[in-house]
Structure 1
């Protein structure tokens, strides 16, 4: 085999909808890819069976011989120190020993686990919008709100792999109860389902197709609907408060925002930048940039590999 492909990582991106795998080289290029639907309503072994099928397909490639480690980015909560995962949308996995189970089918390759927000952060720092920044916050704003940190030029996952989880910073002290148990969390205001929920509660009416997703609310906001605009502005303020708090605490220089809600474009980013100007007032955070993510749907796989290649343990 060509020496060009002797430093590969087998990357796994595990979510509630799909389980993807790839062989990724040290430039972030994906060479081989496999995917299965996540049997999220089935038991633990059924979900692990889908993971094993993805790995088995990757192993049919001659490039597998160049893999030196496995990187996993998983929906959370995760506990990297214990090697376990408990994805909210995968009912059968609660404290599931994913690192040990994957390790048993990859012939002794080392296995590294991070949360999906940390994986996205690794991808954006390595190949995307945060490249060249030593201190960055990256956010995934989608069904939930997650994130990760780069500090002093290195990925900072924290002891359990959850550092940077901005979605559960409280920004409304007497706000709605969040499923995490706290109140007024960023996620409870700014996630896609909660943007849509707020719009409907304020008597926004969907079009003839009955679509009440955040994407439909974004389209209505872009067309000038005042209730839809207000729902996105409220979400933007919550994100701005969380970003400003994080920047004040650890002095990040850039906030990169990805995920499905970021697809709303300036419907989100214009009020987000405006609100950030109201919250980030101290001299050392006034220059904070907010930009869209660049890595798109491959961020999970590239980031799972990047967590291994950029921060070996």
Structure 2
């Protein structure tokens, strides 16, 4: 039996996490640091190095044969660089090279965080068994990834499936990406909360103005809070329907903090999807909440690294990382 492990990094605007992951997707060692997102690029890299040092201090580290990175994007997998919108100190930052040096030359695979989440959901989550899927992270931003023909499809740069920056409102608000009316500008957690506040919603005594607080208000019947989630659901539905029409996915999996709103999000999302996904080959599209939870980024980064080291023909579509030999 193989005892190899895969190391993983999950890099976002609020946290940097690292782990050692086994062939069953179990996280054996984990470390994390807050992302110094407002500081310079080297300060952010120091946090990455600290996470790697903590994970690398485990005696299990010697069994690591590869390292996967799921990073906020955009990323450039071909160049090995990252330019996260929410980490301004990293623009074209050579993350793959720096991580390879920090780990003594381990093979490194870089994908966007949405692609990493997709790898996790296809391996052991809600997209398991589907040959064609879109998986989404709806949180501070909106990202995504694709499974096509039974295989993870990161695309040449590692960003395929980045649904958050599909425009669904041609004359909509400017998005930080430079576009207008992007799904993210309407459906992300901060924008759900912003719209509710602009519409007259007010937080409770605790002063919580997060999307979670807006969801709680919606559950009590607050009309403004309900309307903000319905608008977010409409934007998500439009983006999902466009993706399904383009590449014929069978399921759209929605994860991230905003998905924790449950029926406040999913009921209007399914209702809106019926209005947008009208062609015969997309009408039966399934929408489901993600199952892999907060560790999806780490597990998916490990899966992407393992897949990158084995010819695709050797990996069954529905058991991508289930056998230790895949590592």
Q: Shorter chain as normaliser: what TM range?
A: over 0.9
- In the other structure, the counterpart of 2:97 is 100
Q: 1:134·1:150 contact (CA, 8 Å) conserved in 2?
A: yes
Matched, 1:211 2:208: yes
Is this contact kept in 2: 1:154–1:311, CA < 8 A? no
Which SS does the other structure have where 1:310 is aligned?
helix
**2:147 corresponds to which residue?**
150
Verify the 8 A CA contact 1:257 1:290 in the aligned structure 2.
Answer: yes
1:75-86 equivalent positions in 2, closer than 5 A: 75-86=72-83
Which ranges of structure 1 fall in alignment gaps of 5 or more residues? none
Q: Which residue of 1 aligns with 2:263?
A: 266
Task: Answer whether contact 1:122 1:307 (CA < 8 A) is retained.
Answer: yes
Matched, 1:299 2:296: yes
Write the distance in 2 (CA, Å) between the matches of 1:31 and 1:208: 40
Correspondence for 2:13:
16
C-alpha displacement of 1:254: 0.3
The CA deviation at 1:154 is 0.6
Alignment match, 2:320: none
Question: Is 1:34 matched up with 2:31?
Answer: yes
Question: What is aligned with 1:252?
Answer: 249
For the aligned residues, what is the CA RMSD? 1.2
Does 2:127 match 1:130? yes
Change (3 A) 1:205 1:60: closer
Deviation at 1:308, TM superposition (A): 1.5
2:65 to 57, 68, 73: 68
Q: Aligned partners of 2:12 and 2:178: how far apart in 1?
A: 22
Alignment deviations for residues 92-150 of structure 1 (CA, whole Å, 9 cap, x no partner):
21111000001112222110000111111111011111111110000111111110000
2:168 aligns with 171
Runs of at least 5 residues in structure 2 that lack an aligned partner in the other structure: 311-327
| CA deviation map 1:254-305 (0-9, x unaligned) | 0000011101000000000011011111111111000000111100100000
Residue 4 (structure 1) shift: 4.8
Measured after TM superposition, the shift of residue 75 of structure 1 is 1.0
User: Corresponding residue for 1:59?
Assistant: 56
Contact 2:82 2:94 in 1 (8 A): yes
Distance 1:133 1:309 in 2: 20
Paired with 1:185 and 1:207, the residues of 2 have a C-alpha distance of: 30
2:164 matched to 1:162? no
Q: In the alignment, which residue of structure 2 is the partner of 1:120?
A: 117
| Residues 13 and 35 in structure 2, CA contact (< 8 A), matched pair in contact too | yes
Structure 1 residue 223, shift from structure 2 partner: 0.5
In 2, Cα distance between equivalents of 1:15 and 1:62: 27
Q: Is the counterpart of residue 308 in structure 1 residue 302 in structure 2?
A: no
Runs of 4+ aligned structure 1 residues displaced above 4 Å come to: none
